[in-house]
Chain A
């Protein structure tokens, strides 16, 4: 009788162990994407300042801002299908399209992730953005 109990206990422990293992594995392997809009902002600055820092020293700025959460603002100078440009300096890609009507000349503040500097068109690129105002 005692031996049988031990056997059940061992089987139970193995099952629990396997389940825990599986849950952890699943959590790690299928972790959701980061939600930039809910993260704490690392830097806040006007679009011109952000672009100036990249244009001035690409390497320093890339190390400092890449993959960081940035809030930036300025007037809208271009509107594309899924992007806008602020002050001809910062190109912003939205995660789920634009959720509000925007026209050129509007003042806009956005929060997003900095992906780096595009030296072909001299624009800083930000993606996974959401509008703040």
Chain B
């Protein structure tokens, strides 16, 4: 009887060790990453904003990558532009988040070094209640104990069903350039 109990205990211990191992997947996280976007047209006031409180999570074992930006956190130089962005275009009260979920193609943690390397990211960007496939190249670089990720990609307002009124149409670029910069730490 005692023996059985001990055996049971051993199984539990082994199982939890196994589970712990599975859970021990290494995640690199940045809680205050930066995303900047620009949709400026020449001769008009720059249309650009920065969010410095973006979260990014990279699972270095599975190469899965996710990032979340609270859209109210985008700051414009012009406060009126910021108000319009939140109220009329991105509708941040209804859609408070922009989320990207994807994978780094062919990512291998052991290949990372102090020299920056390019890697392809493929995933889905969800914004304004719509989803869009985004494929882009980012640079990865090991720096101290962090992984630095930089890159940019283009989207259009219509990808996410954001309509630009005719009166400002020529002041806002058709393509929006989004730049990201993360410093992921374990």
Residues of A within 8 A of B (CB): 28-34, 62-63, 66-67, 80-83, 85, 91, 93, 115-121, 123, 125, 127
Contact = CB atoms under 8 A, between A and B. Distances in A.
Interface of B: 29, 31-32, 52-53, 55, 57, 66-68, 70, 72-73, 78-80, 82, 92-93, 96-97
Given A66-B93, A120-B68, A125 B73 contact: yes
A125 B53 contact: yes
B31 A30 contact: no
B31 A66 contact: no
B53 A93 contact: yes
8 contacts: A28-B80, A30-B80, A93-B53, A115-B53, A115-B73, A121-B29, A121-B57, A127-B73
A80 B31 contact: yes
Contacts, number: 66
A30 B16 CA distance: 60
A63 B67 CA distance: 22
A62 B57 contact: no
A31 B79 contact: yes
Contacts of B68: 118-120
A128 B29 CA distance: 22
Residue among A63, A116, A127 with max Cβ neighbours from chain B (10 Å): A116
Nearest to B77: A33
B53 A62 contact: no
Contacts of A63: 93
Given A66-B72, A125-B53, A125-B70, A116 B96 contact: yes
B53 A83 contact: yes
